[in-house]
Structure 1
Amino acid sequence: MRSMSKALSSVLFLAAACMPLWAQQNRSSEVILKEIQGHHQGMAVWWMGNSGWLVKSGDLLIGTDLDLEAGDKSYPKIHPPPLTPQQLAGELDIEFVTHQHGDHCNVSTIRGLAQGSRTTFVLPQSCLRQVASLNIPKERIIVPEPLHPFDIKGIHVEPIHAIHGNQDFTVLTREPDFVDNIAHNCGYVFNIGGKRILEPGDSVLTEEHLNLKNIDVLFVSPTIHNMYTDRSMILINRLQPSYIFPQHFGTYQVREDISFWTRGYPEELKMNLSQDLQKRYHQLRIGDMFEIR
C-alpha cells in the first residue's frame, strides 16, 4: 500500500510539473489584494485572466476588460477569478472596456464595481445598451471614439480602432450591428507613469497598430480570432516593445466550437521570436504581478 501511495504521489508530482504554468492554481485573492494596496511607487501589472489587466502607477489603479465572473455552463472557466468585483470596487480608479462581448464588457463585473463610488467607466458606444440597467450615473461614464484622444485622472488615452476577428482568421461580420461595432470599438494606448501601454482589444492586425510609436508595454492576443502568432510577430517586430505580455488564453475551458477565441498560442508565439524579444516576453499565471521598470 505504501509503495502504491508513493507511486501515486510521483505521478501527481510529474503531472503538476508538466502542467502549463498558466493552468496551475491561482494565487489567493488576499495576497493579490494586499499587493495592489501596498504598491505605491513605480508601475506594476496583474493579469486577471483573458484580456483583463490591472495596471497601477503610483497610487492610480486602472483595469482593462475585467471579467471577474465565475463563469457559467456555456463558458466555464478553468479557475475561479483571482479577485471579485467587490474586492476591487474600493481600489479601482478607471475600468476601460474595448467592446461589447461578455468576456470583455462583463456586466456582472461592472455591476460589482459600480456598487462602489470610486470607479469611472470608459465604455464604447457598443457597450452602453448592456449596462443601461445598472443605472450608472452619467458622470461616471466616458464614451470613447477611435482616433479621438482624451485625458482622464492624469492619463492621456489614445483610442484606436479594434476590428474584431472570428473563426478561420476572418473578420466578424455575422452580428447585425457589426458596421457600428467596427466604427466604435476601441483599442487603447495609455500614457501613464512615463510609459506607453498598448491594449489592442479583440482585433485583427491593422495599419493603425503598425504606425504606433514608442510603445513600451504590449498586451497581445495570439488567438485565431485576433492576431494569432504570425501577425502578433509582425506587430512585435515592428513596435519592439520593452515588455510583451500574451493574453486571451488559459481562462476558459476550450471546446471545439469556441476554440477560436478560448485557445491561445502563447508558447508558440514566444518560440518564434528572436532571443532578444524572448527576454522581453512574460507569460504570467492568472493573478501574477509583474513590475515594469
Structure 2
Amino acid sequence: MKTRILTCLLVLLVGKTQAQLSAPDNIATSKGPLTIQPVEHASLVLTVAGKTIYADPSGGADLFKGLAAPDVIIITDIHGDHFDPKNMDAVKTASTILVVPQAVADKMPEADKAHMVVVNNDGTTTQAGISIHAIPMYNIPGGPDAKHPKGRGNGYILGIGGKNIYLSGDTEGIPEMRALKNIDVAFVCMNLPYTMDVPHAADAVLAFKPAIVYPYHYRGQNGLSDVNEFKKLVNEGNKNIEVRLRNWYPQK
C-alpha cells in the first residue's frame, strides 16, 4: 500500500514539473506550423516540419522530458546558463549537430567535435534545412572587463519557412540589433548587471520593430525583471508589436 501511494505521489510530482512549462505557441510558416516551446531562462525549443532546434539547453535535463530530441543545438556563449555540457549530453543524440561560436568550441569535449559546426559573428550555416546566421552580442562599453566582449558569443537569426527568428543572446541594445530588418519573432534579454535593463530593451525593440517579441533571459542579480513594464513601454511606442509574456522560470 505504501509503495502504491509513493508511486502515485512520484507520478504527480513528475507531472507537475512537466506541466509547469509554458504552453507552446505556433507560428505559421511555409514549412507548416513552427512550434515555440519556452523552457527556462535562455532555453527554448523550436520545431517545424519534423525538425527540432534547441537553443542554449540548460536548467536540467528534466525540463526537456517529453520534448522531441534535437536535430540541432545552438549555443550562444560560454556561460553556464547557455553552455551546460552535462545538460547538453543528456538531451542530444548521436546525430545532433552542435552550432557554436569558437569560444564554446574551445571548451567542447573532443568527442563532440565530429558533430560540431563553428560559426562566428556574421557567419552562416544551414542545418536541418534551417538557415542559421550569427550576429554580434556584447556589452557596451566593451573592453577586457566586459562580461560579454564583442566577438566571443553569438546572437542568431534563424530562417525557417520564410520567417526570421532572432535570438539575442547576452547583449545590450547594440547597433547590430537596432539595425535588424524583417524580424518576425524576437527573443530579447533583459537582466542587470549582465545585459540591459527593461527601458533599454524596450527602446531597442522599438528600433528594429519585430512583429512578435518575447522577453526572455530576464533573471538578474536582484530577481526577475519587470516584463509587464517592458510590454507597456513597447506598446506605448508601437502598438503593432505583439509582446508575448511567458513563464521562463518554471522551477520558481
* TM-score w.r.t. length of structure 1: 0.68
Q: Secondary structure at the match of 2:205?
A: helix
- Equivalent position of 2:199 in the other structure: 230
**Aligned counterparts, 1:1-293, within 5 A:** 28-29=17-18, 41-69=32-60, 82-84=63-65, 91-114=69-92, 116-132=93-109, 135-136=111-112, 138-164=113-139, 171=142, 173-174=144-145, 182-224=150-192, 225-249=194-218, 258-259=221-222, 263-274=224-235, 277=239, 280-286=242-248
Tell me the matched-pair count.
228
Q: Check 1:223–1:68 CA distance in 2 against 1; reply closer, same or farther (3 A cut).
A: closer
- Equivalent position of 1:18 in the other structure: none
Q: Secondary structure at the match of 2:107?
A: helix
C-alpha contact (below 8 Å) 1:248/1:264 kept by paired residues: no
Whichever structure has more helix as a proportion of its residues is 1
User: Larger radius of gyration, structure 1 or 2?
Assistant: 1
Q: Which deviations, in whole Å up to 9, do the C-alpha atoms of 1:132-184 show, x marking residues without a partner?
A: 26x21x3310111101222222111211011147xxxx657437xx79x5223
Percent identity, aligned pairs only?
19
**Letter aligned with residue 97 of structure 1:** I
Q: Secondary structure at the match of 2:108?
A: helix
Whichever structure has more strand as a proportion of its residues is 2
- Equivalent position of 2:11 in the other structure: none
Q: Secondary structure at the match of 2:120?
A: coil
CA distance in 1, matches of 2:122, 2:106: 22
1:279 is displaced (CA, Å) by: 6.6
Q: Secondary structure at the match of 2:89?
A: helix
CA distance in 2, matches of 1:102, 1:83: 17
C-alpha contact (below 8 Å) 1:42/1:193 kept by paired residues: no
Unaligned runs of 5+ in 1: 1-25, 71-80, 289-293
Unaligned runs of 5+ in 2: 1-14, 26-30
Q: Check 1:69–1:214 CA distance in 2 against 1; reply closer, same or farther (3 A cut).
A: same
1:222 is displaced (CA, Å) by: 2.0
CA distance in 2, matches of 1:193, 1:287: 29
CA distance in 1, matches of 2:155, 2:94: 26
* TM-score w.r.t. length of structure 2: 0.78
